[in-house]
């Protein structure tokens, strides 16, 4: 009986020679080294690309963080500078006041808001200026019109006229004189002090009625310059 199995094994030996196909490991590595080198180069390039992308992402992140911190710092400096300037302006240059009464009507009305410039020089005070000052008698800030300067002789007539150093004072800003008095009032303004009246003479508690009729220069805070509110009444004061 013919052994087909042996024939198949013989064919296998002819077609597939294990010793011929399988070289030593060293031979395989040497024979295909270029493929391994290409693969290593690809891995290295991929790693380099990954590193570059990571570096770019890192730089973008750092740039964004740096930009945010820079913006935050700029805003902080701006806000601090604005607050400092506001403080210095309010402390040394101007401040705002609110009108609570009708004593200066019609020049000033209730709820008017004004900008007042700080007062530093006696020479800058002129008769007719609207000034803000601190009243020790009432322990508060008041606003009136200065009528008497240091050394002036003032007479407030029962008819409402005001005479300064022998001359009748022209007061276009007074629309309602106080003619209810039964006698004249006379005043001699001391040095370095001032005499004040409200424009609404019939409804103003001023130098005519104070226990001490005069205000010291050191208590004068500033001159009212402009009405800033309500908007319909914005104007420069005269």
pLDDT by residue (tens digit) across 62-118?
666 667 778 888 888 888 877 776 766 666 688 999 999 999 999 999 999 999 999
- For this structure, is 144 an active site residue? yes
| 69 vs 199, residue with greater confidence | 199
The active-site residue out of 144, 204, 232, 238 is 144
Q: Both tokens of residue 138? A: 């009432």
Q: Is 202 exposed, middle or buried (0-12, 13-18, 19+ CB in 10 A)?
A: middle
CA distance linking residue 41 with residue 46, whole number of Å? 9
Q: How many other C-beta atoms lie within 10 A of the C-beta of residue 95?
A: 17
Q: What is the spatial distance between Cα 162 and Cα 145, in angstroms, rounded to a whole number?
A: 13
Range in 76-90, 130-144, 211-225 the model is least confident about: 76-90
CB 192 within 8 A of CB 217: yes
Q: Are strands 235-236 and 130-135 parallel, antiparallel or unpaired?
A: unpaired
In whole angstroms, give the CA distance from residue 200 to residue 132. 16
Grouping H, G, I as helix, E, B as strand and the rest as coil, residue 220 is strand
Which carries the bigger pLDDT value, residue 175 or residue 143? 143
**What is the pLDDT, as a whole number, of residue 18?**
45
pLDDT of residue 84: 72
The arithmetic mean of pLDDT across residues 27-55, rounded, is: 56
Q: Which CATH architecture has domain 99-236?
A: Ribbon (2.10)
pLDDT of residue 21: 44
Least confident of 45-54, 172-181, 223-232: 45-54
Residues 182, 207: contact at Cβ < 8 Å? no
Dihedral angle over CA of 179, 180, 186, 189, nearest 10: -80
* Angstrom distance (rounded) from CA 25 to CA 8: 29
CA 10 to chain CA mean position, Å: 102
Q: Given a cut of 60, is residue 232 above it in pLDDT? A: yes
* Neighbouring residues of 182: CB distance < 8 A, sequence distance ≥ 6: 158
Q: Are 184 and 156 in contact (CB under 8 A)?
A: yes
99 token code pair: 């009108």
Cis bond upstream, residue 106 (ω within 30): yes
Point out the catalytic residue in the list 31, 44, 103, 204.
Answer: 103
DSSP 203: G
Q: In this structure, are residues 110 and 99 in contact, taking their beta carbons and an 8 Å threshold?
A: yes
Residues 27-50 have a mean pLDDT of 55
pLDDT of 49 > 80? The answer is no
Residue 13 has pLDDT above 60, yes or no: no
Of the listed ranges 2-6, 172-176, 180-184, 214-218, the one predicted with least confidence: 2-6
Say if residue 159 is exposed, middle or buried (CB neighbours under 10 Å; 0-12, 13-18, 19+).
exposed
Indicate the pTM of the whole model. 0.65
């Amino acid at each position: 009986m013919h052994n087909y199995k042996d024939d198949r094994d013989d064919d296998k030996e002819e077609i597939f020679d294990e010793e011929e196909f399988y070289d030593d490991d060293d031979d395989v590595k040497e024979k295909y080294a270029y493929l391994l080198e290409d693969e290593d180069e690809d891995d290295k390039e991929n790693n380099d690309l990954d590193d570059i992308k990571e570096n770019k992402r890192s730089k973008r992140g750092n740039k964004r963080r740096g930009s945010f911190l820079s913006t935050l710092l700029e805003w902080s400096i701006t806000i601090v500078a604005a607050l400092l300037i506001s403080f210095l302006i309010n402390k040394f240059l101007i401040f705002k006041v609110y009108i609570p009464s009708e004593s200066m009507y019609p020049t000033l009305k209730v709820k008017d808001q004004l900008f007042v410039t700080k007062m530093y020089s006696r020479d800058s005070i002129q008769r007719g200026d609207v000034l803000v000052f601190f009243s020790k008698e009432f322990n508060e800030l008041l606003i009136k019109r200065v009528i008497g300067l240091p050394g002036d002789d003032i007479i407030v007539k029962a008819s409402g006229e005001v005479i300064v150093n022998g001359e009748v004072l022209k007061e276009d800003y007074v629309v309602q004189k106080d003619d209810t008095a039964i006698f004249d009032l006379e005043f001699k303004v001391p040095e370095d002090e001032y005499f004040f009246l409200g424009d609404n003479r019939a409804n103003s508690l001023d130098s005519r009625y104070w226990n001490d009729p005069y205000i010291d220069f050191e208590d004068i805070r500033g001159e009212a310059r402009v009405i800033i509110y309500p908007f319909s009444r914005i104007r420069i004061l005269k």
